[in-house]
């Protein structure tokens, strides 16, 4: 965790408070979801989630980074909500920390689905080292993604495959607890789940040819 930014610091403070409360006898359960993704049944997601704003920015600029292989580790919102309730209600979950970190799928799955469903929207692909300046110069100021401009411009899309092996996020205990004590199988996000989320955003008009 990056303890130099406010987000990391706030999490560290909260978890220290919870740890102290636990040592004093409070029944504490810590649940850490990573990146929560669209509902696997409907494709519904919060349109203002970062990944959705990133896709919108790409559509509006008509541009993507070539050879993007960033690994995404989504946990579907429908699964996550059920799992959190199951863990919170189980009498044996107290004192544990449960991590939710999904299987890796390349961001190219989202890009391919977007291009297939909105042909000709992406007019060019650029190298990673040109991305930041391209975003800063070309993202429309009236875009819903404008407020995340700096974060979008700082995205690294080509950092290599199999990042999940380097993450250090341990999920074995979470999987084992859910399967053995809550009778819940671990969720695996599929490429079709990602496609369904794109179709939802197109259906509601968030992503469209007019965006560009």
Burial of residue 10, with CB atoms counted within 10 A of its CB: 0-12 exposed, 13-18 middle, 19 or more buried = exposed
Query: Which H or E run contains 23?
Result: helix 6-23
What's the rounded Cα separation, in Å, for the pair 71 and 84?
24
Residues 6+ apart with CB under 8 A from 139: 57, 60, 61, 145, 146, 149, 152, 153
Tens of pLDDT, residue by residue over 79-99, are: 999 999 999 999 999 888 899
What's the rounded Cα separation, in Å, for the pair 73 and 31?
16
Tens of pLDDT, residue by residue over 7-66, are: 666 777 877 887 787 777 777 788 889 899 999 999 999 999 999 999 999 999 999 999
Predicted TM-score (pTM) of this structure:
0.84
Assigned CATH class of 6-211: alpha beta
Identify whether the C-beta of residue 56 lies closer than 8 Å to the C-beta of residue 139: no
For the chain, which residues make up each domain, given as ranges?
6-211
What's the rounded Cα separation, in Å, for the pair 77 and 189?
11
What's the rounded Cα separation, in Å, for the pair 74 and 13?
25
- The band of 5, judged by pLDDT with boundaries at 50, 70 and 90, is low
For residue 9, what is the DSSP state? H
What's the rounded Cα separation, in Å, for the pair 74 and 80?
10
Tens of pLDDT, residue by residue over 93-131, are: 988 889 999 999 999 999 999 999 999 899 999 999 999
């Amino acid at each position: 965790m990056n303890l130099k930014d406010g987000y990391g610091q706030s999490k560290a403070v909260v978890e220290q408070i919870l740890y102290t409360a636990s040592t004093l006898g409070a029944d504490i359960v810590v649940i850490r979801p990573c990146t929560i993704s669209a509902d696997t049944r409907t494709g519904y997601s919060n349109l203002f989630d970062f990944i959705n704003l990133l896709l919108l920015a790409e559509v509006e600029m008509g541009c993507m980074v070539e050879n993007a292989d960033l690994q995404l580790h989504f946990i579907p919102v429908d699964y996550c909500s059920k799992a959190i309730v199951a863990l919170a209600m189980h009498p044996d979950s107290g004192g544990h920390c449960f991590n939710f970190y999904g299987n890796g799928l390349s961001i190219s799955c989202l890009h391919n689905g977007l291009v297939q469903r909105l042909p000709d929207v992406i007019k060019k692909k650029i190298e990673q080292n040109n991305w930041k300046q391209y975003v800063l110069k070309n993202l429309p100021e009236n875009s819903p993604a404008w407020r995340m401009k700096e974060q979008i411009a700082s995205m690294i899309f080509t950092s290599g495959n199999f990042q999940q092996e380097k993450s250090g996020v341990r999920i074995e205990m979470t999987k084992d607890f859910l399967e053995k004590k809550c009778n819940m199988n671990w969720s695996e996000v599929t490429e079709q789940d990602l496609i369904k989320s794109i179709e939802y955003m197109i259906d509601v008009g968030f992503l469209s040819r007019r965006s560009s």
